[in-house]
Amino acid sequence: MGIIWTIIIGLIAGIIAKFIVPGRNEPQGFVLTAVLGIVGAFLATYLGQALGWYAPGQGAGLIGAIVGAIIILVIWGFVARQRA
């Protein structure tokens, strides 16, 4: 159930992060934005567990997932800018 919850939170976090960090080099589709949000949620979960903020098996909350999604979107923007 933890992975499913992380995916749901990641979808929401991806959408919110897209509104916080808009830009030309950002992903344009809903699916890609949602996938990057899910990746950001998993990033926040594993970084939080590695730093001791979350217990093993505990997922990141909405705020942590949004921060993770913003990090992934910024990285995506740099990669897209380098390719153009």
Q: pLDDT tens-digit profile of 35-72?
A: 888 888 888 888 888 888 888 877 777 888 888 888 88
The answer to whether 4 and 28 have CB atoms below 8 angstroms apart is no
Average pLDDT over the chain, rounded to whole?
Answer: 80
Domain extent, residue 40, equals: 2-83
Which pair of tokens denotes residue 24?
């030309």
The answer to whether 41 and 65 have CB atoms below 8 angstroms apart is yes
pLDDT of residue 17: 83
End-to-end alpha-carbon separation of the chain, Å?
40
| pTM as predicted | 0.77
Structural domains counted in the chain: 1
